[in-house]
Structure 1
Amino acid sequence: MKKAASALLVLALGLAPAVAMSAIPTPAAAPLTVHGVQQFDLEAAGDRAYRILVSVPDKPAPAAGYRALYVLDGNAMFLTALEAVRAMERRPDVPRDLATVVVGIGYPDGVDIAKARTLDLTPPGSGNPRITAASGGADAFLDFIEERLKPRIGALAPIDPAQQALFGHSFGGLFVLHSMQRKPEAFAVRVAASPSIWFDRGDIGTQLQAALAGRGAQAAPLKLLLTAGEYEQALSPLAHSQPNVAKLALLQKERAQVDSSRRLAETLAEQPAVDVRFEELAGEDHGTVIPAAISRAVSLLLMPQLEVPPVPSAAAYWAMTPEQRYDLRMWVRQLPDRKRIPWLTGLRDTLHDGLTAAQVQTLHDERNRMDAEQGSKPHLVNAPSH
């Protein structure tokens, strides 16, 4: 009786004997299959090949064809981009018929990815003494995308040629900029995340201006978003505890990731052929910035674009609550520079003509206070001074 009672107590407490536990069969593991995703290797010139990952939406293609997002470094970034796209397409403020083909461009098994991407993603003539891998193959890689990959994707699903986007990070971001210089019309939307401008010996800003100057005045402006993480140029709180902090600080200063990307956006801001914007992503470093940058890329491609609000009269602006004025400023700050700066210039002139100097100063102080309270930052380039 005592043995039976003890056995019942063990079972009641969930303390099954070791023999019983070992008798429980373990289900066999199976490889993960991502619904709607296929992959294949596609050969390129020079005995090279690329691992292509593709997701075609379940929903029918719009009349003009699907949108397409091409993601560089596909081995590492395709699934993040895919989930971001599908989540964005489920939003109620995104048109129901909008659907996107997501394409990751990576490398087959056995390829030294670090060396391969250094060659593929860097422009001819670029280089740095610290990087010993071969570089300068961006032209051949861009030709592969345009001449081999895009036709293959077009055979899988109808694509709207006017709604194609390219995302790249680091060397990939540099390639995105090079693609705009060499073939501006290849993509309507580009996101250069933390682009390695430091690696390119040429003046990419001047090169881009020259390439974009030839676009017709009637053509829709190309969209370019440049991003960089706050801690790609400033040391993060955690970095100070690392033994190589001095070396890291020097490297960050040399590369000036945030400043170089911001300057490039400022250089291109007056160019009517491109809607360009720079975003500094708070709290992110060169590695952690990737998901946040992908999210921005997906929003730029899929979200309805903000319309330019009318410039309110001085009396109407003064009559708003501080919260209403703040919301309007946040709206305008999301506009590309070619729309944002003229709007701010119009508001500045309206307020100076319609309000007293004391009222203008009150609004200026209010803006600074609201930014400090909300943690928001104005652009460095706004309405030019008189």
Structure 2
Amino acid sequence: MGRWISLVLLLITPLAVARPAPDQLMDAPVLRQASAYSFSSLELDSADGARHYRIWLGQPSTVSDATPVAYLLDGNAAMAALDSQSLDRLAHSVAPPVLVAVGYATPLRIERTARTFDYTPKVGSATQQRDPLTAVPSGGADVFLDLLTGTVRPLINQRLGITPQRQLLWGHSYGGLLVLHALLTRPQAFDDYAAASPSLWWNQGLITAEAHGLAQRLRGSQPRLLLMRGDQEPASPGAVSPAKEASDTAFKALLGTLHRVDGLHVRHLTFTGLGHGPMLPASLRYTLQMLSQGR
């Protein structure tokens, strides 16, 4: 059973209820305002030169191997969802996390073409794959995860001068789809996986099928999954009404499958009154709050 999260528990900045325009510019006040976190950035390109990444590194005042590190997908939007007050609260928590917002070198809040390729799994053996919603190239999830774990993470650890003992991957929507793909195909890559509003509808529910064989892939690891959604979200982009828990078969099927996997710790949260768009900032802030409390 999911736990219902009241908006009053968020106690952070108000959440927008409208879906952002596709060409909305990134606005991240935390990069201009003083807070208890210090930010730096680095840039790199994909191996084929087609995608260009900008990564923001947010550090609390003290960092050690015991400091949790949170990798945040859709880094431009994640940075825009943060505020100085919440960062100050994080900095004074039990375990202030390092923030690694993995975004794109663009002035936009969301780089839709690049993220569609990076956050979607490959289907079958076709050389070229198109996204069922936007028709842009898709299927680069494993290439992106190789970059994230094999290139980005060593650069971050080198810059921090630590070997983190706890690392989390957070993502929303297509980012949530990627978080689940990472968990189901390479469960040792991170200690914690936080999937918000994952696109379970994508390619006829392909992600649920990836759960088969997960118990064998764990190989003694015990990852934790935080699965989040709003009760006002549709089951798919084409649906017109919110997906109520009793009728959201894809979500229930995934939960049922994952709860049967020995060694996997699953927590499911439903946010009252939130639709798809507002779930991005709400889920991010909740995830960081829980991580900073050592949970």
Q: TM-score, normalised by structure 1?
A: 0.59
- For 1:67-146, list aligned pairs within 5 A: 67-81=68-82, 84=86, 86-91=88-93, 94=94, 98-109=95-106, 113-125=111-123, 129-146=132-149
SS in 2 for 1:38: strand
Q: Does the Cα contact within 8 Å between 2:73 and 2:101 map onto a contact in 1?
A: yes
Do the aligned partners of residues 114 and 129 (structure 1) sit closer, same or farther apart at CA in structure 2, a change above 3 Å counting?
same
**Pair 1:260-2:250 in alignment:** yes
Q: Separation in 1 of the partners of 2:218 and 2:112?
A: 35
Cα distance in 1, alignment partners of residues 47 and 179 from structure 2 = 21
CA distance in 2, matches of 1:257, 1:223: 26
1:170 equivalenced with 2:173 (yes/no): yes
Residue of structure 1 aligned with 2:274, choices 277, 284, 292: 284
Q: Which has the higher helix share?
A: 1
Cα gap change, 1:49 to 1:143, in 2 (>3 Å)? same
Task: Give the secondary structure class of the aligned counterpart of 1:190.
Answer: strand
Matched, 1:302 2:268: no
Please report how far the alpha carbon of residue 155 of structure 1 lies from its aligned counterpart in structure 2 after TM superposition: 1.1
CA contact (8 A) 2:197 2:229 kept: yes
Residue 145 of structure 1 aligns with an amino acid whose one-letter code is L
Please list every run of 5 or more consecutive structure 1 residues that lacks an aligned counterpart in the other structure.
1-30, 235-246, 306-386
Q: How much does 1:81 deviate?
A: 4.8
Distance 2:82 2:252 in 1: 24
Counterpart contact for 2:181–2:210, Cα < 8 Å: no
Aligned partners of 2:76, 2:199: CA distance in 1, in Å?
20
Kept in 2, the 8 Å contact 1:181–1:212? The answer is no
Unaligned runs of 5+ in 2: 1-30, 124-128
Aligned to 1:21: none
* Comparing 166-175 and 106-115, the one that deviates more: 106-115
- Give the aligned length: 251
Counterpart contact for 1:228–1:258, Cα < 8 Å: no
**Equivalent residues of 1:67, 1:160 under 8 A apart:** no
Is the partner of 1:296 in helix, strand or coil?
helix
SS at match of 1:117: helix
Residue 19 of structure 1 aligns with which residue?
Answer: none
Aligned-pair identity in percent equals: 31
Amino acid at match of 2:48: G
Deviation, structure 1 residue 49: 2.0
* Shift, 1:118, TM fit: 0.7
For residue 266 of structure 1, report the CA deviation from its aligned partner: 2.1
| 85 and 167 in structure 1: CA distance in 2 versus 1, 3 angstrom threshold | farther
Q: Deviations over 1:72-130 (max 9, x none)?
A: 11111125357545523424xx2xxx332101111112688111111111111186543
In structure 2, relative to structure 1, the CA distance for the partners of 1:88 and 1:178 (3 Å cut) is: same
Contact 1:229 1:258 in 2 (8 A): no
Amino acid in structure 1 at the alignment position of 2:40? Q
Higher relative contact order (CA 8 A, sep 6+): 2
The residue correspondences of 1:138-157 to structure 2 (distance < 5 A) are: 138-157=141-160
Aligned to 1:194: 197
In 2, Cα distance between the equivalents of 1:267 and 1:154?
34
2:36 aligned with 1:46: no
Q: Which amino acid aligns with 2:262?
A: P
Question: Does the residue aligned with 2:211 lie in a helix, a strand or coil?
Answer: helix
Which residue identity lines up with residue 251 of structure 2 in the other structure?
Answer: S
CA pair 299-213 structure 1, distance change in 2 beyond 3 A: farther
Normalised by the size of structure 2, how large is the TM-score? 0.75
How far is 1:160 from its partner?
A: 4.2
In the TM superposition, residue 279 of structure 1 has moved relative to its aligned partner by 1.3
Matched, 1:185 2:196: no
Supply the distance in 2 between the matched residues of 1:158 and 1:216 (Cα, whole angstroms): 29
CA deviation string 1:130-166 (max 9, x = no partner):
3211111111111110111001101111344430001
Aligned twin of 1:332: none
Larger Rg: 1
Letter of the 1:117 counterpart: R
Question: How much does 1:206 deviate?
Answer: 3.9
Question: Aligned Cα RMSD in Å?
Answer: 2.8
Question: 1:162, 1:198 → 2: CA distance?
Answer: 34
Q: Which whole-Å CA distance do the structure 2 matches of 1:86 and 1:209 have between them?
A: 42
* Residues 216 and 182 (structure 1), Cα distance of their counterparts in 2 relative to 1, 3 Å cut: closer
